[in-house]
A and B are shown apart, each in its own frame.
Chain A
Amino acid sequence: MTPLDQLENQSVFILREAFHKFDHLAMLWSIGKDSSVLLWLARKAFFGHVPFPLVHVDTTYKIPEMIAFRDRLAKEWNLQLIVGKNEAALREGRTFPNGKLTRVECCGALKKDGLRMVLDRHKFTGVIVGVRRDEDPTRAKERYFSPRDQNMEWNVEDQPPELWDQFKTDFEPGTHIRIHPLLHWTELNVWEYIQRENIPVVPLYFANERGERYRSLGCAPCTSPIKSTARNVTEIVEELRRTNVPERAGRAQDKESEDAFERLRRDGYM
């Protein structure tokens, strides 16, 4: 068993636990590389099927190639897709690009509140999310099964113990559990796995003729590409083996203050 096999088998185990434990289960699909791997692992776990809906929280500011990729895959893989939007905020123009909110507030409104609206409408009690521990210091402290209270808040000071693959699966009505099957993967692992399994990803990850590529995908106004010559998956793997630059360096909302991202995540951001 290779190290990638070990990561894969652990994630499959977690996905199957989630599927067994939650009648109202959904998977968040951000259309990024991690989501692509997560979706692939779901098909591994359920023998080619994805037996729960995918939720895309659409801010309407996503890079257009992402939406095209989403719609293509949803059709080809026969996915049940739920697109959620914070319609009110968008209608009233309460966004960062409109100048009415800070970047972090905009994330809170369009993504966090957008997610909450979808969860409320469909009464999801389990939500599978593709976050990883190596992404940022708060995610480094996450659990595989991570409870969120009625207000979607993450009580990071009092997280459930998690040992020997026994997860918290009993919860109060009105609360929900975030399930994180990729928690133990690194960015490099993700790309190594994409390479091994030949998993489709949005072409935005590959360097263009200007020598730029996206390393982390988000909304167009707050995500910038990095300098890179990596034009395919193999070259990305090579590049990541050498780099020392953090993955979310191109995500502007993380940098508004020292604990900007922590506060977002405590409030229910993914």
Chain B
Amino acid sequence: MPSALPSSAAAPAAQEQLKIVIVGHVDHGKSTFVGRLFHDTGSLPEGKYEQLVEVARRRGVPFEFANLMDGLQAERDQNITIDTAQIWFRTSRRQYVIIDAPGHKEFLKNMITGAASASAALLLIDAGEGVQEQSRRHGFLLSLMGVRQIVVLVNKMDLCGFDERVFRRIESEYTAFLGRFGLKPSGFLPICARDGDGLIARSPRMPWHAGRTVVEALDAFEAPPRPVHQSLRFSVQDVYRFDHRRILAGRVESGALRVGDRLVFWPSGKSSVVNTIERWSAPSALSASAGESVGVTLTEQIFVERGQVATHEADAPAVARDFSTKIFWMGRQPLPVGHRVKLKLATQEVEAEIHSIERVIDASTLDEIPGAAKEIRRNDVAEVVIRARQTVALDPHSAIAETGRFVLVDRREVSGGGIVVAAIRAGDADAGPKSANLTWARGEVLASERALRNGHQGAVVWLTGLSGSGKSTLAAILERELFNRGIQAYRLDGDNLRYGLSADLGFSPEDRSENIRRAAEAGRLLADAGLVAISSLISPDRADRARVREIMKEGQVRFFEVYVCCPLEVCESRDPKKLYARARAGEIREFTGISAPYEAPEHPEITVRTDQQTPEESAASILDYLIQTGRLASVSYDI
């Protein structure tokens, strides 16, 4: 056993690690292979072999190497592998994580789970049975998921008397199959796993095979390089406000970012510059590259939320609602056209539907399933166009894998996975959700149904503050930002209301109260219709605002009072409509702040300081509050 012994004594600190998935048809000997490999390379923990022999003796069953990997009683009882298991072993070259995947069609989702994290695969084919359904399906799925290094082990060579012709026949048949989707295996090796032939040494029973042993083949796999030289993709996981700093926590998916880099955040297109790269209890660094989970602070505060993808200006991703994909479906129920699912790509999560099915493929034959363009059944692969409710920042999988693959969640379950082939058209946020007003006239549509359709709840955001504090400016930014995110927003401006709805009202205390009531009622109707209404009225009286809150409570409408706080001197110095000057001159009577009191809210949901923040920063903190904490989230997955 030359190279196979665990060389632990000589091991350098924390070795390179390569993940290998073991796949193939049920009963083609995967778990037996892994057990034997561990035994022969001296990788079994002390006493494990003896323990398994003893258990087999006690139960009166033959000893099976497979029992090493089949950690569940049910697996040992039935001699099948149900779920993927991961164990470690090492050669003189490096450490391996061996992922034993089940071969049974019923457990395909577990095989996919195993394969998704692997860099290379060993695919076993039984020499007696030859290429079978799962041999083909697994090969195809590996390729689809981006596992391109495959060595095929033709196992149980004893069943055909170690006949080279049987081996060559399988080699030629399976090479042709893999060739149909452009996959070239790294090699074919004849083995007899149960007896250890071909694992760590060439088998005397197969002198005609001059190629590698399994261990040599493992050591010949290349560890995939980290994608540090690709375009930068930094996916935002969260925004933290620890220690009075706003830190964007996220992972560099590809490429690298440096302090001083100008980043553009997608899909919003907002831009700012990296101020610092944050790590805790680590040497400070001016850059972060692919695979690193770091924090970033920006020089200029812009609204950034989870899901956004930061890139350099010159390397923008595709931003699209429609994109063509290849997906594999693992759901219990078939996936029909038009079905709503949740799509998760990097840290983005959007509602999406299957817009059209171009082709459904039987993954075990590569044959197109005729007439199957209406739905995708479990374990099938399909080419589909996905339409998301909002724009998504993504890349073709062939360009950047990390932002080119996604999963589909159906009824709380991760039920499908896929890769992006191409974005179909540039995103137009203005397209908005379709047919949002079909149900206006009906009285039996529930608020939860509207939320489901809109992808968010209705709500009233009530801005209160002095004249000149910046309410209208904020309302306009909020309306735009919410709208850009696919949230139906509408601004109820105090002055605008007086053009129509309140055209009959003046500025007496009674009339001002009535104006506030009407604004509240209008907001309630809009929210009930599923929109987010943003009102901007001075609304100086606590009593009036208390009534507003009552109206919302009665209407079961989500209500957020925002105190737009700004000292009088600052407001007066701004005086955008020259009202303060006129009030000082006595031309306007009972002007809030000058000749009438402003009663600051006691318990507003949010307070923003417009004298200390730019309007964008204030808007960002309001948006953070509304969106990041899920206060507008539709409950669509809970019904």
The answer to the question of A2 belonging to the interface, with a C-beta cut-off of 8 Å to chain B, is: yes
Complex Cα distance A164/B86, Å?
A: 16
**Known contacts A1-B292, A6-B291, A9-B293; is-contact A160 B414 (Cβ 8 Å):** yes
Contact yes or no, A137 B110, CB < 8 A? no
Contact yes or no, B87 A164, CB < 8 A? no
Question: Scoring A residues 21 to 62 as 1 if CB is less than 8 Å from chain B, else 0, what string do you get?
Answer: 000000000000000000000011111110000000000000
Contact yes or no, B330 A46, CB < 8 A? no
Contact yes or no, A166 B71, CB < 8 A? no
B interface size (C-beta, 8 A): 68
**Known contacts A3-B15, A46-B242, A47-B278; is-contact A166 B8 (Cβ 8 Å):** no
Q: Which residues of B contact A161 (CB under 8 A)?
A: 109-110, 112-113, 330, 407, 414, 417
Q: Which of the segments A63-71, A201-209, A242-250 contacts the partner chain?
A: A242-250
Complex Cα distance A174/B493, Å?
A: 44
Q: Which of B276-312 contact A (CB under 8 A)?
A: 278-282, 289, 291-293, 295, 306
Classify the secondary structure of B's interface with A. mixed
Complex Cα distance A170/B48, Å?
A: 38
The answer to the question of B444 belonging to the interface, with a C-beta cut-off of 8 Å to chain A, is: no
CB distance from A183 to the nearest CB of B (A): 8
Contact of A141 among B11, B85, B237, B342 (CB under 8 A): B85
Q: Which of A168-204 contact B (CB under 8 A)?
A: 168, 170-172, 184, 186, 189, 192, 197
Question: Scoring B residues 397 to 416 as 1 if CB is less than 8 Å from chain A, else 0, what string do you get?
Answer: 00000000111010011100
**Known contacts A44-B279, A47-B278, A172-B412; is-contact A138 B293 (Cβ 8 Å):** no
Q: Which residues of A contact B13 (CB under 8 A)?
A: 192
The answer to the question of B72 belonging to the interface, with a C-beta cut-off of 8 Å to chain A, is: yes
A interface size (C-beta, 8 A): 56
Q: Which of the segments A11-19, A79-87, A215-223 contacts the partner chain?
A: A11-19
Contact yes or no, B88 A241, CB < 8 A? no
**Known contacts A3-B15, A242-B8, A259-B73; is-contact A197 B226 (Cβ 8 Å):** no
Question: Scoring B residues 224 to 245 as 1 if CB is less than 8 Å from chain A, else 0, what string do you get?
Answer: 0010000000000110101100
Contact of B71 among A45, A138, A171 (CB under 8 A): A138
Closest to A259 in B: B73
Complex Cα distance A2/B283, Å?
A: 14
Q: Which residues of A contact B292 (CB under 8 A)?
A: 1, 5, 9
The answer to the question of B247 belonging to the interface, with a C-beta cut-off of 8 Å to chain A, is: yes
Q: Which residues of B contact A159 (CB under 8 A)?
A: 83, 110, 113
The answer to the question of B507 belonging to the interface, with a C-beta cut-off of 8 Å to chain A, is: no
Complex Cα distance A164/B402, Å?
A: 8
Q: What are the 9 A-B residue pairs with the smallest beta carbon separation, nearest first?
A: A137-B71, A163-B116, A170-B412, A140-B85, A246-B45, A12-B293, A161-B109, A166-B407, A259-B73
A/B interface sample: 9 pairs, CB < 8 A? A2-B14, A44-B282, A47-B247, A140-B71, A141-B85, A159-B83, A184-B86, A245-B46, A262-B73
